[in-house]
Amino acid sequence: MKIIRILLWWIFIISIPVLLISTVVRVEVQCLPFYEYEYEKYNISEVTGFDSRQLGVITRHLIQFFNGKVESAQLVVEKDNNPMYLFHDHEIVHLEDVKEIFKYVYWIQLISLGYFLFYLLINIIFRKRKKLIYFWKGLKNGSILTIGLLVTLGVGAFFGFHQLFIQFHYLVFGDPQSSPWILDPRTDHLVMMYPLNFWQDALMLGIIAILATSVIFIGLSWLFLRRYRRSRR
């Protein structure tokens, strides 16, 4: 019984960074104001030749595609008064791969959230005398683990984001011969709209959000554990 309790506790600790990271990814994918801010920051209208309204239509369509609400990422747009398909075939293939990755991330988020609630529930039911002490200790340690992971990632991104970005794509998508993730910024609208700086900003914003949440979790855990120790004296 003790081994099971320890195992469940460690799974809970590990689930904290998984839950926070997957949740932030899911939120950022859906966050239209972030896209709009980035489009303006990097003059994406001038780069692509699409006005802000068109960029908004494209972005909403891609969000729907990643959420499984439309079947294809392809879109007919007007450029220089001529209708055209927005993406080339290799861009469509890459977007399909990205959609699969997001699908796995969404499932991971739901599973980790489910385990979070499950662990909280079993602590409420079976450990009334301990007053959720294992839950709060696990939340604190999981948040500390999250901070350690994110600080390491942040330092790596700050000093070598381009290399980190490439290695991530090799790890997730494999060889570009089998999954065409190397795009041409002169001809491919996908990379025109979402240049390297866009992803760097998304990563840094995500790191800040996760770190802030982790600090809040640590503060709440510290307050509860402090009250618990005082009540035991």
Q: What is the pLDDT of residue 203?
A: 92
Identify the DSSP state of 74.
-
Q: What percent of the chain has pLDDT over 90?
A: 62
Domain boundaries along the sequence of the chain = 2-232
Quote the tokens at residue 87: 């993406």
pLDDT tens-digit readout, 13-27: 999 999 999 999 999
How far, rounded to the nearest angstrom, does the alpha carbon of residue 126 sit from its chain's CA centroid? 34
pTM metric for this prediction: 0.89
Cα distance between residue 13 and residue 149, in whole Å: 13
pLDDT band at 228 (very low <50, low <70, confident <90, very high): confident
pLDDT digits (tens, 9 = 90+) for 208-218: 999 999 999 99
Mean pLDDT of 36-44: 94
- Mean pLDDT, residues 108-126: 92
Residue-wise pLDDT for 69-114, tens only, equals 999 999 998 887 788 899 999 999 999 999 999 999 999 999 999 9
Q: Which residues contact 126 (CB under 8 A, 6 or more apart)?
A: none
